[in-house]
Amino acid sequence: MQEFLWLLTLSLVALLAVIFVAVIRQAAMPAAAAVPARSGRYRQPLFWGLIIVGVAVTYGTLVPWPYSPDPRTTDTPLRVNAISEQWSWSVDHTELPLNKPIVFFVTSRDVNHGFGLYDSDRRLLTQVQAMPGYVNKVHYTFTKPGQYRVLCLEYCGLIHHDMIAELTVKP
Ligand SMILES: [Cu+2]
């Protein structure tokens, strides 16, 4: 899926580059030649069409929102505290239940870190910033048993790469 999205992103960036080059070339022409009268009438429907598609895509890809409870569940989430410091995580529950909503309360004792939750295939599942003086929450429900890892997603110094917490999800 991530490879497909990467190729899709590359294709869309290439398409945007082609459009930019076309616009730059048109900018060099006299105004009357650059915008034929017949294409002017598509402008407004195209503009509103893109707005509608943009809102729909944004809504479809951001819901459920990981920073508030999943509206599809009424289950009380399990609270897990994750505290970061240079260069380790302390997580108060490292054995986590399957199919139960979990809310990670994430903070930092020193500098900014990034709480990144990864599965055993090193796929990023969810993430939130770990900041001193703030507690940020991120909601997640594990649907597969196995080993998971919390890695730091914000470069925080010399041993940043070693900030790893192991989590186990049991059926
Ligand atoms: Cu770090």
Kindly report the backbone phi and psi dihedral angles of residue 125, in degrees, each rounded to the nearest multiple of 5, phi listed first: -95, -45
Query: 72: pLDDT confidence band, cut at 50, 70 and 90?
Result: confident
Identify the pLDDT of residue 1.
76
CA of 127 to the centre of ligand 1 (A): 13
> 70 with 141: CB under 8 angstroms?
yes
Identify the pLDDT of residue 29.
76
CA of 111 to the centre of ligand 1 (A): 9
CA of 42 to the centre of ligand 1 (A): 49
Identify the pLDDT of residue 32.
65
Residue positions counted in the chain: 171
> 50 with 57: CB under 8 angstroms?
no
**Would the pLDDT of 3 be above 90?**
no
Which residues, listed in sequence order, are joined to residue 132 by a DSSP beta bridge? 108
**Would the pLDDT of 163 be above 70?**
yes
CA of 144 to the centre of ligand 1 (A): 27
End-to-end CA distance of the chain: 26
pLDDT per position as a tens digit, 16-35: 999 999 998 888 877 666 56
Boundaries of every domain in the chain: 2-62, 78-170
CA of 102 to the centre of ligand 1 (A): 23
What is the DSSP secondary structure assignment for residue 75, as one 8-state letter? S
Q: Residue 137 CB: number of other CB atoms within 10 A?
A: 15
CA of 76 to the centre of ligand 1 (A): 31
**Would the pLDDT of 126 be above 90?**
yes
pLDDT per position as a tens digit, 33-63: 656 667 778 889 999 999 999 999 988 887 6
Cβ neighbors of 119 (< 8 A, separation 6 or more) are 125, 144, 146, 148
CA of 115 to the centre of ligand 1 (A): 9
Identify the pLDDT of residue 35.
62
State the SS3 of 93-130.
CCEEECCCEEEEEEEECCCCEEEEEECCCCCEEEEEEE
CA of 25 to the centre of ligand 1 (A): 45
Which residues, by Cβ under 5 Å, contact ligand 1, an ion? 113, 152, 156, 160
Architecture of domain 78-170: Sandwich (2.60)
CA of 13 to the centre of ligand 1 (A): 30
pLDDT per position as a tens digit, 73-110: 778 889 999 999 999 999 999 999 999 999 999 999 99
